[in-house]
A and B are shown apart, each in its own frame.
Chain A
């Protein structure tokens, strides 16, 4: 009896030791048989890819986007950078020059590079571009079918290096479809797809690459993808910048934030896509080789997006801008910055992200206008803007974070933003009362006498930052006597956001190129023509369902001027002034992504000091990292 037990225990212990301890050489989370020094491991923020063997990115949503496919293997005409860029913000990739429009923007002419080859040895040419466009127009239901069918009258390839698009209506921004900011229309290999009957149902299992890497191997369960540098990497558009340093790239699913931190500390994850602020601080404290966008606080890379508290302006209670302003004046941005980012937020008082080159175009020049901006509460006029708000956040953090917090005003502005709106409960009360709301006991009532309740929809653990900001905003409203509660949408967020099934949603309806002043990336879709009926799905990105005649006029004017026309900045400022007056959404801050690179094996990742690319691993633009990083030693 005893001996049985002892044997049993011994067996269990021995088994555990064997499995747990024997292979120290091949650490747990590393690919087998690939030299660590030649491998760059990046996080795939999509997690586990359900449809792991599918590489046809032109079919809609069948596949992963961030498994390295669009980062390492695909290419298209142009790239635009959210910051400074590798060689300027604009990069002619497959095209050899910028798009050329005719005078009334009904025709776009593209010149292509020569000497670019697919990974199977076929040369890339204008025929591929023409084929890609026509394939999608011909096959409805593909990712860009509708976009192309709506705009393109015809596409011609008069010679191997020229493509001419004839457009159905004037459009000075048509090239945006082929300009990578996160993604764009990728060029498909004609010689593969022309043999396919239904491109919607073709898996493209052995993807032919147009960029510097080809697929090496992948997990049938979708947890990892390994890409190998092409021998003929010179014959790709990336070849202009020299040899990409890593021979192998691994895009992996490292699990939830905690595990990402652990993985990087174990040197098993070179680039973390995003983690919570606390995880970021932990890495900064405990893993000296971890480097983020900023050397110190606030670390994260500001994405050219603008998280905001977006009102559903079709609801009666939010139709009055006084109400929207009152709710704005109840928010203490310092508390929101603390709650969401622990202070590591770049705040913005206006409806433009405080990132890339936008502060230079909008935030800084508009300081005086903001300071002079007045609101009439019905009883008095107040000037709500406080331009020291970002400095106050920095000052409040300095006691605990010490010299990580910059003190140079320019540095503070770059890291924390500039000013924001002063909390002013008295003015909020006056505004609400003017709008017919009244307070009964401790509870605000709407003009019709029912309680003023607000459901603040947040995404949940997929985006902790928004969840945290939302719960802080709900708290400030609740403490003022409004029945505000947080509602976690998780998987339903997209549907609910589109359907307007929210009172206030924490999300972004403003996102921009970042490195370029043009605001059409989001603004074009804010035209009143696209505002859906209440209850009907709203096309992206005007989630607030807000329309204004002045806004329509601005949008229509922008459509008729060139992408690079400096007049665009003035029109952008007009938009900002209108949006501030109306406050259809409450701008909060940039979406700071805590992308952390570990410099144990590789150095030279993009940072605020050398902002040559977006470090975020899921952007197509992150490919420039591969040619700029260098092996350590």
Chain B
């Protein structure tokens, strides 16, 4: 694994860029642990100071230092993305593997449900949920919900791999060795799909973070918890755009775009590593 990453770093520009971008964002998130400010405190810094030596990212109209606030926010936003990724991985893995391994009716039923979730417009459903849950809608609950709505793409992908594993010799051996379905899936099939899981995780994080940012900007999340979308929400509450407090919007947007592009590049380069065909082809393409 280490060698893989070293090779990727050394020879894949996309991966390097992805690592640098994501690394920057993660470093920012880690900085929040040494922040001199409490994330919820307002009016602890002078108002509307543009980016300067004293306040690198400036301050908000609510008297917060944007740099440290952004550190907290990106940490929470990342945590959300990771939690969604973990839960939806569990779901898509178990459903994808099961459907692929069992086949037949199990597969048909599971994939029908899967396709349903792919088609249904999720955003209105999430907004509805928010209005039902209100103050019970903690970020963890939102993450669980998002995960429950966001496993379907990847489950389909995993299923297709599992389908091909089903007829391999080692599966039959395992069946004869008396392993039950759960054991076969966990011990025999899981390792084969893990590489795919890894690259889809990054895409899934991109998706869920985008969703959270959007919901938060529209005020559909818990505003007590600083997040990147929440920052933009508050900036809108203070008309930061027309009031000329551009840094209040620019830095969160910039950082989140960095994260998006970073994760995306990582996913792409991972994918390339996993599927050498696309890499070979990329090289092949140079000659045309």
Contacts and interface: CB of A to CB of B under 8 A. Distances in A.
A and B touching (Cβ–Cβ under 8 A): yes
B224 interface: yes
A127 to B, nearest CB: 46
B239 A278 contact: yes
A78 B224 CA distance: 46
Interface stretch (A181-189, A300-308, A322-330, A334-342): A334-342
Given A464-B237, A490-B219, A339 B43 contact: yes
Nearest to B132: A492
A384 B27 CA distance: 48
Interface string B237-253: 11111111100000000
Interface in B240-274: 240-245
A520 interface: no
B43 A472 contact: yes
A487 B219 CA distance: 11
B135 A279 contact: no
Given A282-B239, A468-B237, A471-B42, A488 B219 contact: yes
B155 to A, nearest CB: 34
| B interface majority secondary structure | loop
B137 to A, nearest CB: 10
Interface string A452-466: 000100001100100
Interface in B4-36: none
Interface string B64-76: 0000000000000
A262 interface: yes
B210 to A, nearest CB: 20
A488 B223 contact: yes
Contacts of A339: 42-43, 62
Given A342-B61, A460-B219, A461-B219, A335 B240 contact: no
Nearest to A256: B236
Contact of B43 (A277, A335, A460, A461): A335
Contact of B240 (A256, A277, A278): A278
B243 A282 contact: yes
B275 interface: no
Contact of A487 (B40, B135, B236, B241): B135
A621 to B, nearest CB: 27
B237 A276 contact: yes
Contacts of A391: none
Nearest to B241: A258
A404 B134 CA distance: 42
Interface size class of B (residues with CB under 8 A): 20 to 34
B135 A455 contact: yes
A261 B224 contact: no
Given A338-B43, A461-B237, A279 B243 contact: yes
Contacts of A455: 135
A467 B239 contact: no
A475 B224 CA distance: 10
A281 interface: yes
Contacts of A190: none
B41 interface: yes
B192 to A, nearest CB: 42
A487 B138 CA distance: 11
Nearest to A478: B40
A593 B46 CA distance: 25
Interface in B38-82: 40-43, 47, 61-63
A277 B47 CA distance: 14
A491 interface: yes
Contact of B61 (A257, A278, A475): A278
A489 B130 CA distance: 11
A258 B236 contact: yes
Given A278-B61, A472-B43, A487-B134, A461 B239 contact: no
B123 interface: no
Contacts of A492: 131, 134
Nearest to B233: A461
Interface in A236-266: 256-258, 261-262
B286 to A, nearest CB: 18
Contact of B41 (A278, A461, A475): A475
A238 B122 CA distance: 52
Q: In the A-B complex, list the 7 residue pairs whose CB atoms are closest, starting with the nearest.
A: A278-B243, A279-B239, A261-B242, A464-B237, A278-B239, A276-B239, A487-B135
Interface of A: 256-258, 261-262, 275-279, 281-282, 335, 338-339, 342, 455, 460-461, 464, 467-468, 471-472, 475, 478-479, 485-492
Given A339-B62, A460-B219, 17 more contacts: A256-B236, A258-B241, A258-B242, A276-B239, A278-B239, A278-B242, A282-B239, A335-B43, A338-B43, A339-B42, A461-B236, A475-B42, A478-B40, A487-B134, A488-B223, A489-B134, A490-B219
30 contacts: A256-B236, A257-B239, A261-B239, A277-B238, A278-B238, A278-B243, A279-B242, A279-B243, A282-B242, A282-B243, A282-B244, A338-B43, A339-B43, A455-B135, A460-B219, A461-B237, A464-B237, A468-B62, A468-B237, A471-B42, A471-B223, A472-B42, A472-B43, A475-B41, A485-B224, A486-B223, A486-B224, A488-B219, A489-B134, A491-B131
